[in-house]
Amino acid sequence: MLKYILKRILYLIPILIGVSIIIFALKTFTPGDPARQILGNSASEEQVQEKREELGLNDPVPVQYFNYVKGIVTRLDFGDSYRTGKPVLSEITPRLWTSAKITLGAVIIGALIGVLLGIISALKKYTAVDSGVLVISMFFQSVPEFVIGLVLIMVFAVNLHVLPANGIETWQGYIMPMLCIGLASVASYTRITRSSMLEVLGEDYIRTAKAKGQSQNNITFRHALRNALIPVAQSVGTNLGNSIGGGMVLETVFGVPGVGKYIVDAITQRNYPSVLGGALIIAIVLTIINLLVDISFVLIDPRLKTTIISGSGSKKMKKVKPETAKAA
């Protein structure tokens, strides 16, 4: 198990290097002079050249990239914002916690709604209820998230006046962003839950439970749902990454001071260190999430743990003969 975790961690290194190279290249070859932007149009050419030398912009691009990565690895230095002059990491850290709360809330909402719809769809398979559930879930997946966000603002903020349209000064401000992002993942949870429930409900032990006269609720929630939730739990990590990506746009729609809005504002201001640092931090968070998801797969499904241990050569699983099993 430890060997598997270390191997997965090593796989993250080339991924992060590749992401950093792509993002740094986009920043380097984007038109515009950062030194001129910082000093303004009234600055002389000599002042601009001095600022470029101070920022290291006159160095070759590979040298700039090496110095940037060195600063991240040795000092966690993602550069300083052109707009405020403060370290990018210090500006992103509180915003990262805001984005994390919205993302986790959205995943919980999407999972609860999706699992409930999936159970209903499986129990009412091939009926009008089943078709209606699938249509509703696919609708939320097909409509862009920012459109759903605007509709929620019109209904709950403009017409009903029950939720704030902008900001997160109170806890009510988190509801619409969480709901909007969570609804986009409902279809995924619904399909997975439905297919998993249908498979589990066809197992022999379910038929045995029915033959013993157990109630439908007891069979569904005590026996079937527990095993059917394994694929659902494994899909949470994928939806978590998708929710982070979708939250970047919706934070701007709802005026949430998260990492997504920070990056969008930095792009409009051509604040390259903030764009680069924010994108890299999100990439690091996503890779860590993927690592934790892979590890959780092994913890949730013991069959994967057996496969990993057997494949590593540390232990070999031996098949037990039927006679030996009966004797035992």
Residues of the chain above pLDDT 70, percent: 88
Instruction: Note whether 228 and 206 are within 8 A (CB).
Output: no
Cα–Cα distance between 250 and 57 in angstroms, integer?
34
pLDDT for the residue 246: 67
Cα-flanking dihedrals φ and ψ of residue 80, to 5°? Answer: -110, 145
pLDDT for the residue 1: 64
pLDDT for the residue 303: 58
Cα–Cα distance between 310 and 256 in angstroms, integer?
48
Return the half-sphere exposure (C-beta side, CA atoms, 13 A cut-off) of residue 74.
6
Instruction: Note whether 34 and 82 are within 8 A (CB).
Output: yes
pLDDT for the residue 138: 84
Q: Which of 145, 131, 158 is nearest to 247 (CA)?
A: 145
Structure tokens at 193: 């839950």
Instruction: Name the CA radius of gyration of the chain, rounded.
Output: 26
Cα–Cα distance between 150 and 16 in angstroms, integer?
35
Cα–Cα distance between 120 and 193 in angstroms, integer?
10
CATH 1.10.3720.10 fits domain 88-269 = yes
Tens of pLDDT, residue by residue over 196-250, are 888 888 888 888 888 888 887 787 777 787 777 778 877 777 777 777 766 777 8
Cα–Cα distance between 36 and 257 in angstroms, integer?
28
The parts of the chain modelled with pLDDT lower than 70 are: 1, 245-246, 297-328
pLDDT for the residue 240: 76
pTM: 0.75
Q: What are the extents of the domains in the chain?
A: 88-269
pLDDT for the residue 136: 87
Q: Give the largest CA-CA distance in the chain.
A: 92
Cα–Cα distance between 142 and 181 in angstroms, integer?
13
Sign of the torsion formed by the C-alpha atoms of 181, 183, 188 and 190? positive
Structure tokens at 296: 């959780």
